[in-house]
């Protein structure tokens, strides 16, 4: 069988892992690797003749069959991919932001030119999720996803839980260890997970989810006190990317911290591990878990996509039909204020007669039922620490109730996962 000739754009951690992995695979030949700096030291022994600082050398090379894009971001990645498709090349990418923001136009453009875009590495690193949904699970109607899709935030929350440390202290440690970027905004504010759940829910629900309709909230306001209280109540706090769709195509897609029951699988996904829990018919519930990032886990998904293309290359005029995107309908977005959730609320209140009664009355007037309300001790400043867990209620009403607690300080409001 003819060797598949590929060009790689981007030679960071993942690109290096892809290069090293492909050295052991005879059916694929790396022709050229585009890098930003030709003089930068490499973690792989690459012939200098294989490197270029001009990605368009790869894009315009008629001998290259597949472009592997690993630089991330929107521009110039979008320009390279569009030019490569136009010149007749298939695409393998790990670019979650590009897919979330421009996936629809890219997939349509690829279809017009009869080329495929594969992106297994863009969702959960080394965890196989896109191809299983498109193939083995194709006969299922998936209606719910709950996932941990960002290793940096999961590491930070795990360390806060285990060490009883503050967010700020753990973030500094994560940055020193290389688990968090110097500017961690993309991870800790939930952008990365939002990009991933946008594409994942589009594929799983077979209808298009728009990034601008995904509610996003990061972990920067989670306190070590919240971690301790969650543990006492039988929960762990995780950054959850969730998506749920009903029979009328109404989709509730979001990313935010959640209290998840210690009895749940996601509660035990710690440090940089990722996990995806899906519910559907006829499969029921299924959980896929593994390394969500890193040199070789992500390279595993990239190389798998490359070999999927190689398996059909030269044998058909319409390659990998099941892996192509054909989602022409758009889901109806559900606004966060219209969702129904259980809530954990941490309140600092004056230590006065009737305070707990007042909290109960305000909630009752908003038709909010309380599962529990606990006061623990009185501080030196004569304030009481009160923890409330509500029953399932509408978000809009919770926000209104909190506004009426004007003589109290609301420290935290965190949603509680269903079943928790």
Contact present, 258 and 241 (Cβ < 8 Å): no
User: What's the first-to-final CA gap in the chain, in angstroms?
Assistant: 53
CA distances from 26 to 29, 75, 81, 368 (A): 7, 33, 26, 63
* Rounded distance between C-alpha atoms, residue 224 and residue 219, angstroms: 11
Residue among 237, 246, 150 at smallest CA distance from 195: 150
Q: What is the sign of the dihedral through the CA atoms of 48, 51, 53 and 58?
A: positive
Q: How far apart are CA 222 and CA 241, in angstroms?
A: 16
Count of beta carbons in the 10 Å neighbourhood of residue 64? 23
State how far the Cα of 49 lies from the Cα of 32, in Å rounded to an integer: 8
Q: Are strands 141-148 and 66-69 parallel, antiparallel or unpaired?
A: unpaired
Judge whether 317 and 5 are in contact, CB under 8 Å: no
- Report which of 386, 398, 378 is spatially closest to residue 356, judged by C-alpha positions: 386
Residues with a catalytic annotation lie at: 196
Tell me the C-alpha distance between 133 and 34, whole Å.
32
Residue 405 CA to residue 401 CA, distance in Å, equals 7
Give the count of alpha carbons within 13 A of 158, CB side only. 18
Q: Are 322 and 109 in contact (CB under 8 A)?
A: no
State the Cα–Cα distance between residues 171 and 155, nearest whole angstrom.
9
């Amino acid at each position: 069988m003819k060797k598949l000739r590929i060009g790689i754009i981007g030679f960071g951690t993942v690109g290096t892992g892809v290069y090293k992995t492909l050295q052991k695979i005879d059916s694929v030949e790396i022709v050229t690797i585009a890098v930003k700096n030709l003089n930068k030291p490499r973690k792989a022994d690459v012939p200098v003749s294989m490197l270029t600082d001009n990605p368009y050398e790869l894009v315009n090379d008629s001998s290259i069959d597949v472009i592997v894009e690993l630089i991330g971001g929107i521009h110039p990645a979008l320009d390279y991919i569009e030019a490569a498709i136009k010149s007749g090349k298939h695409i393998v990418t790990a670019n979650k932001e590009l897919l979330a923001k421009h996936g629809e136009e890219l997939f349509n453009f690829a279809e017009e030119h009869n080329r495929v875009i594969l992106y297994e590495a863009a969702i959960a690193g080394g965890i196989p999720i896109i191809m299983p949904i498109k193939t083995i699970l194709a006969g299922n109607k998936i209606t719910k996803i709950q996932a941990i899709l960002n290793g940096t935030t999961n590491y930070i929350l795990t360390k806060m839980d285990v060490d009883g440390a503050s967010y700020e202290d753990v973030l500094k440690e994560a940055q020193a260890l290389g688990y968090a970027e110097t500017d961690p905004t993309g991870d800790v504010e939930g952008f990365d997970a939002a990009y991933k759940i946008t594409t994942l829910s589009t594929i799983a629900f077979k209808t298009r989810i728009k990034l601008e309709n995904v509610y996003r909230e990061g972990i920067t306001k989670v306190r070590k006190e919240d971690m301790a209280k969650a543990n006492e109540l039988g929960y762990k706090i995780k950054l959850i990317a969730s998506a749920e769709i009903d029979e009328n195509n109404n989709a509730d897609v979001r990313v935010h911290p959640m209290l998840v029951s210690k009895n749940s699988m996601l509660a035990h996904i710690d440090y940089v591990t990722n996990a995806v829990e899906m519910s559907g018919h006829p499969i029921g519930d299924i959980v896929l878990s593994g390394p969500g990032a890193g040199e070789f886990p992500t390279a595993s998904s990239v190389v798998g996509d490359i070999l999927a293309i190689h398996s059909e290359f030269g044998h058909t005029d319409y390659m990998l039909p099941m892996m192509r995107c054909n989602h022409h309908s758009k889901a109806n977005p559900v606004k966060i204020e219209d969702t129904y959730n259980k809530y954990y609320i941490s309140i600092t209140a004056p230590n006065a007669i009737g305070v707990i009664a007042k909290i109960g009355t305000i909630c009752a007037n908003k038709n909010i039922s309380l599962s529990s309300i606990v006061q623990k001790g009185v501080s030196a400043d004569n304030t009481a620490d009160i923890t409330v867990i509500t029953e399932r209620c509408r978000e809009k009403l919770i926000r209104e109730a909190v506004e009426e607690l004007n003589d109290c300080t609301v420290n935290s409001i965190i949603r509680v996962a269903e079943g928790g």
